[in-house]
Amino acid sequence: MKYLPWITVCLLTLMMYMLSGTLTRNEGVVFDLPETGLGEGESTDLVVLMMPHGHDTFAFFDDARYVMGDSAQCAQLGEQLSERAGKTSLKTLLVLADKRVQMGDLMRLAAIARTSGLEKILFAKRRQEKPE
């Protein structure tokens, strides 16, 4: 009888461990990001600029603006990316995003890029000036 509380605690801990594995699995896009982004001398023709404006996020690509919350415009962006990806040998997309862009919009763009045939997605960061 004196071991019953310990057995209960062990069983509850085991049950919580088993449930946490099934509850934390989510589908998503896996990024294979390099350490430093684009290196010196490396370039890409495919660049998307993302900026928030009010409650929407705009993606600018090839002199066109797309609203990331609109599924029709996301489909147009996917078609444009697919067309441009077919014309270049370097299948890399460079994303320049403001830090206020929501993560969901970045994930939506990454999913669009993957379905458009792009192989790499690079997120640029602001270069820090070296102190002298």
Q: Is the pLDDT of residue 77 over 60?
A: yes
Q: Is the pLDDT of residue 86 over 90?
A: no
> 96 in a domain, yes or no?
yes
pLDDT score recorded for residue 75: 95
Who has greater pLDDT, 124 or 130?
A: 124
pLDDT score recorded for residue 64: 92
CATH assignment of the domain containing 83: 3.30.420.270
**Which DSSP string corresponds to 79-116?**
HHHHHHHHT-S--EEEEEE-TTS-HHHHHHHHHHHHHT
Average pLDDT of 16-31?
61
pLDDT score recorded for residue 71: 93
> 53 in a domain, yes or no?
yes
Counted domains in the chain:
1
Is the sign of the CA dihedral 69, 62, 113, 110 positive or negative?
negative
> 40 in a domain, yes or no?
no
